[in-house]
């Protein structure tokens, strides 16, 4: 759960605002073809948030914009709209709302949605967005770093872990847009990533290394980044527990 002087709403709004350059770049890059996916994702997420707000009092979360934009950047282009509807519904409900809303979940809704879609249409065609989308991620990253929402240890460790494994496997000419988006908005998710100082370094290195390993296999870059993030987020609580146990052991040794 996010702590500090920032409220969940303020953090969510900042995340949503940081995505505006990506949204514009995505429409410029892919044209009208991407609009139905973006619109459907936003509509489905809003509908589920309204239902959970009315039925259970779960607060609205502007950060859900990450899931809607992620569908445009990382989902296969030939995925049927009905499968996108199911995937976004599953990710939003099971990944977030069922836990009481954004900030209480341990997996990001965007990651769960895209993983569900990847498993549903494993042979779907995916053409990565152009470099304009990768460049559009940068202003958002600056905003999130400046506000402290994006963890620098997670960012640095992810890049280092990915670079180390990719270099060892001889990977090159990788598409920048899906990897950049996944790094900033999935791997470095402020809720689902590790929370302890040491845990953030371990979590980031794990996510980056897994992404490179999966890309070396049959998965395309977007799919590899999604499943690497999913695995890292699953292990994030365990990583934090280990980091806390190590910290307690060190304190005990110092004062013993």
| pLDDT for residue 3 | 45
pLDDT level of residue 5 (50, 70, 90 thresholds): very low
Q: How far apart are CA 23 and CA 6, in angstroms?
A: 25
Segment 141-155, tens digit of pLDDT: 999 999 999 999 999
Cβ atoms of 199 and 236 closer than 8 Å: yes
pLDDT level of residue 229 (50, 70, 90 thresholds): very high
| pLDDT for residue 255 | 72
Q: How far apart are CA 54 and CA 50, in angstroms?
A: 6
| pLDDT at 4 > cutoff 60 | no
Segment 244-254, tens digit of pLDDT: 999 888 888 77
pTM (2 d.p.): 0.91
Coil, strand, or helix at residue 190? coil
Top-confidence residue, 102 or 161: 161
Any alpha helices (H) in 65-151, and if so which ranges?
65-74, 81-95, 109-120, 131-146
Segment 111-134, tens digit of pLDDT: 999 999 988 876 677 888 889 999
| pLDDT for residue 252 | 80
DSSP string, 135-154: HHHHHHHHHHHHTT-S-HHH
Instruction: Provide mean pLDDT across the span 84-112.
Output: 92
Identify the residue whose tokens are 């990897």. Answer: 179
């Amino acid at each position: 759960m996010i702590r500090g002087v920032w409220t969940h709403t303020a953090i969510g709004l900042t995340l949503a605002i940081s995505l505006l350059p990506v949204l514009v770049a995505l429409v410029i890059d892919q044209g009208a073809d991407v609009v139905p996916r973006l619109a459907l994702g936003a509509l489905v997420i809003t509908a589920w948030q309204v239902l959970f707000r009315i039925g259970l009092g779960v607060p609205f979360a502007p950060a859900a914009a990450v899931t809607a934009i992620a569908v445009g950047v990382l989902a296969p282009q030939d995925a049927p709209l009905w499968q996108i509807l199911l995937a976004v519904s599953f990710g939003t409900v099971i990944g977030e709302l069922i836990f009481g809303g954004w900030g209480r979940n341990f997996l990001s809704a965007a990651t769960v949605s895209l993983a569900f879609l990847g498993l549903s249409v494993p042979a779907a065609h995916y053409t990565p967005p152009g470099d304009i989308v990768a460049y559009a991620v940068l202003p958002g990253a600056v905003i999130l770093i400046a506000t402290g929402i994006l963890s620098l240890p997670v960012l640095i460790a992810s890049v280092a872990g990915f670079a180390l494994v990719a270099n060892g496997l001889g990977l090159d000419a990788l598409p920048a847009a899906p990897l950049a988006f996944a790094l900033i908005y999935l791997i470095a998710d402020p809720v689902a990533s590790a929370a302890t100082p040491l845990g953030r370094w371990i979590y980031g290195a794990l996510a980056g290394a897994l992404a490179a390993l999966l890309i070396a296999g049959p998965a395309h870059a977007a799919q590899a980044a999604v499943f690497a993030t999913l695995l890292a987020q699953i292990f994030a609580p365990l990583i934090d527990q280990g980091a806390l146990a190590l910290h307690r052991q060190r304190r005990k040794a110092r004062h013993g």
